[in-house]
Chains A and B, each alone.
Chain A
Amino acid sequence: MFSFIKRHQIILASAVLGLISLHLASTTRKGTGGEVIVRAVLSATAAPFQKALLAAEGKVAGVWSGYVYFVGLKKENAELGKTVQSLVEENLRLREEASLNARLKELLRFKDDFPPRTLAARIIGMSDFGLSGGWTRTIVLDAGSGDGVGVDMPVVSHRGVVGRIIAVTSRTSTALLITDPRSAVDVIDQRTRIKGLAEGNGEELVLKYIRRLDDVAVGDGLVTTGLSPVFPRGLSVGTVTKVENGEDNFFKHIEVGPASDIKKLEEVLVITDGNTAGADKTEGGQPTVPDGRVRKGKPQTRGKERP
């Protein structure tokens, strides 16, 4: 018996760990189970590295487009080259700042039109978006529980819903994007007011439970219903891109392009209001006060309270 175990110990260990993996996969589907300690340790280790990489990436991009372009200039042009280089770098920096300024302005404009309390956060990491064959669609934000971020808080951009927070450490948080297969958002067709469930499939969204006789057409905009406890009402989720009759002869197969192109986002807003669903105003009919905090990046701005 012991000799058998000893001879096949690797196979047996693999079988045991394989079964444990399957058990973990079936019990921690939401990814918020017993991995809290590991996540906290990894976050503490990786977050500074990710931030440093992000900063370095920006500098390398600047050097690449500024310095490398001038490699090969003759010696007599060195001084002129240096001047041009510094001007180009300055120009790049200013352009980057102008771009950041424009993005922050858009976010602030969105905040002004959007009553719940929000917190701006920077994206410091992303899952691989399928380039390594994975289906996970998550982003890592540089705001954590210390900033008031909590699990299940909605993450939005000025274009619409981005996802929701699924894990939080003191300094960072992980958001599940709406295109992740684990994500499902209650939505309503803006044109026909037909309700459905927008589920992620890794690449985009699939609108489910729409009957064949329901009127949903390509180009229709979908917004959140506010029925779920996570997302406030009226946030843009996406636009219908394809409508077909489903294979089950009952429901339609509808594909939806997400409103926010996460690959192009650098900052997002986390709605930190505890209960935001459908709550546009406070009890007295006055709008809630947005926090107005914009973290990191330049310029740092602090929003003002609404009257």
Chain B
Amino acid sequence: MALFDALREHDIDARAAVPGDEIDGSLPRLITLPADTQQVSTILRTAAADGATVAVAGHGTKQTWGTPTGAVDVVVNLSRIDQIVEHQPGDLIVTAQAGVPLAALQASLGASTQRLALDEMVPGTTVGGLIATNPSGPRRLHAGTVRDLLIGLTLVRPDGTIARAGGKVVKNVAGYDLCKLLTGSWGTLGVITEATFRLHPVPAATRWLTAHVPDHDLPDLLKSVMHSQLTPSAVEVDTNDSSDGHTQVAVLLEGTPGGVDARAREMTRLLAHGADQGDAGWTTHYPFRLGGTQIGLKITCAIGAVTGVARRARDLGLHVRGSAGTGVLYAAVADEADLTSAHLQTLRAEAARAGGSVTIVDGPRAVRAALDVWGPVSGLRIMHRIKDEFDPDHRLQPGRFVGGI
């Protein structure tokens, strides 16, 4: 194993993969545990010389997401590159390495009453995985997603070149914004080893209001909530109770204690239907089980079309939950036999009419191999060309992303 020997020569922690090291059900040849960006570069350069394919992993919480990859030779496991490099509370920025778990980062930031304004939708997720897959939860209405908060990164290209993009200041238009290009790129363009984020203060007061809303009232109710000037941080819906013709609605208010009190009174009136301060723990969990055991979908649509699209999905037997305030919903398929290719097409047509799309997030490998995970992708030709520039030999996360990228 020439590759193995070459890595050991550079004092890189590498070992042959053994059962248990599978990535999405497939056993790689080699597991590497680099200690820093330089070692990641050495691994990628060595793999390039060997023509080896490479997969990237953090804590492995989302390996059952996306299209199943082909055979992988080398896994670059970033979990040891896990330091918080710099937190500047006065500048509201933090630089963290890719292997830092999001929960650890939030705990550290919390000591300064600051936060990365994202929900941890996948327990155990690391900074690198967060950027690679761009998951989002209810608070995206308030602060957007990773793409809106990531201001700088360090990237190792498939040939081992180390590059930085962005910087440490929030306001910066020097050069292309590679942070956005890399966000949600599923590790197919390079290995992110370090990232700088914009932070937000933790609000002094936080309150969820929930209401059990009859479906026929839902469109008008959501419209009035969204059109209010109460600046909710989240507006969530859940169709699990649809058997009785109702939808659960949860609205998050954040701010000063007095401000939240005043807004909660007005919002309670808007929500009606016995709205009350309630437990909305469900909002930060996808409606589907993670880890390749249940099919989970992401459905996006224009904000004004949320109720219609959600109803259509529910009529197909899906449990829908997500951000009505931004038009980003998630859906669980109870039984994988329920999601036929025809169903998926119907749903995709519905979402497309509403300016959105449907992707398969998680699910059994066989399902993700058989169905079209991504659906129609606009701009695919230019995406292929970007992939070809960054990774001409298609060795990085081969086949994991859109259009076979």
| A and B are interacting partners | no
Residues in chain A within 8 A of chain B (CB atoms): none
Residues in chain B within 8 A of chain A (CB atoms): none
